[in-house]
Amino acid sequence: MRTIVLNENNLVQDGQNNKLVYRFPNSILFKNTYVALQSASLYYSWFNISSALGNNVLSFNFPNTLGVMTTFTITFPDGIYEITDINAYFQFYCLENGLYYTTPVLSGGQNVFYMTIEVNLSRYAIQINAFTTPSSAAGGNPDGLIAGFGTAIPATRQTLQPIIVPNFNRTVGWPVGSWTGRNWAGDGIVVNTTGDYLGVPFAWNDTSKIVSYISPESPQVNPNGSIYISLNNINNPYAIPSTTIYAITPTGSAGSAIIEKPPQFCWNKFIDGTYNQIVVTLLGLDGSPIAIQDPQMTILLAIKDGDEYGGK
């Protein structure tokens, strides 16, 4: 058995860090020859929210000073996000655009946001809570909230409306669509009850004027929870893609080291032929090359002839 080592020096310099080329000193005949992953180490550094994945856009309606809804669209920067990070960036966007309120200074001067995106662990779902804004009508703003950037309070109480767009919908487990805002009167919803709106379960609380939506599908926060190791000289009829020899799954948080050592070798037969190089490619779950941000990686491949160790 022989071992070959591929590391960042073998990377194709295209900025993607997903293809490693190992060139043999001389052309080598592979006949009845097998290969297996011996070990792999790299960092969890591929984005789960990005323009390339097309899942980086979220829209919502927010009432203007006349109580009429205005649509805002957030484009998330490419990155590795948990749901808490998505919620934090939503709040950052609202701060930048004045889409928030503050409590009076005597009450602490706290910023108040009118939507939260959070994990509902017991339901294995993503919960979106949409809050009702204050209004300038008499008694419509009992907490004395002040609009962000000194703009006027809306004339009517309205509930922020999330609009779930394609691809981002899979991240949060929601169907594509717009959820009509609920005004202070309830907008046709029986107060303090639960129900279903456009296929999405909701609960309306008439006291706090909050409507909570629960995602009806399992969220896919990371569409590439695992990545495939692919080898160009392999043709495995049982695998898709047919060049797959192993799958790696991160177990830590973003930026953490991934150290993979298979408990036993899973041998794959090389296609018989003469080769001057082998190419290792890191693929996403859809079978396409996945961009890796950190080029530091080491992949060890074990190669053996079929007659070694009792093989045929």
The answer to whether the CB of 98 falls within 8 A of the CB of 125 is no
Neighbours of 158 (CB within 10 A): 24
Please tell me the distance from the alpha carbon of residue 306 to that of residue 312, in angstroms, as a whole number: 5
Please tell me the distance from the alpha carbon of residue 10 to that of residue 48, in angstroms, as a whole number: 25
Domain range 2-46+224-310, its CATH number among 3.40.50.2300, 2.60.120.1100, 2.160.20.10, 1.10.10.10: 2.60.120.1100
Residue 120 bridge partners (DSSP) = 125
C-alpha distances (whole Å) from 82 to each of 201, 241, 286 are: 23, 29, 21
Q: Tens digits of per-residue pLDDT, 86-131?
A: 999 999 999 999 999 998 877 778 899 999 999 999 999 999 998 8
| Domain positions in the chain | 2-46+224-310, 57-214
Residue type, 269: K
Q: Tens digits of per-residue pLDDT, 227-251?
A: 999 999 898 888 778 899 999 999 8
Q: Which residue has the tokens 């602490």?
A: 108
Please tell me the distance from the alpha carbon of residue 179 to that of residue 165, in angstroms, as a whole number: 12
Token reading at 56: 């980086």
pLDDT band, residue 276 (cuts 50/70/90): very high
Q: Tens digits of per-residue pLDDT, 122-176?
A: 999 999 998 888 888 777 888 888 888 777 888 878 888 888 899 999 999 988 8
* DSSP designation for 158: -
